[in-house]
Structure 1
Amino acid sequence: MTFQLRAKKGVQLIFHRGAKVKDDRADFRFSDESGLLGWISSDRATVIFQDLDDVKANEEAFVTLVRSWVNT
């Protein structure tokens, strides 16, 4: 995960599947029950928090999301 520090609004976190594009793009599935992820491409997604209130409101869902992502 990396931070996009130049985001125009809020804080943007980028979730990568690795340094290289994976060959399994068509087969890759990730269940995001939180709805926080926005897919940029088949191997990268973002989470954007507008402000600290947004972070606090989504803290539990975000922690669950990160744990799932790491275990994928």
Structure 2
Amino acid sequence: MAKTQLNVRVDEATAETARERASQRGISVNRYIEELVQQDEGENGRAFVQAAADFMRTYEAVFTEEFDARGDGAR
């Protein structure tokens, strides 16, 4: 995958924390930040899927009734 450069400004305490955490993991600060973003993206995706599943469980009977009443049911 192609890489692109992203410049970010943070206060010195945040920068030092990022350096320390990356060093503890034996990775670069770039890799550390990349992993944080990927983790956040994954959490958002899981939250969306869970919300969609909850919605379908809540309204399953409504959809079933509506589509069966119109003869659109896929049974």
TM-score by length of 2: 0.26
Work out which of the two has the higher radius of gyration on C-alpha atoms and give 1 or 2. Answer: 2
Query: 1 or 2, which has the higher strand percentage?
Result: 1
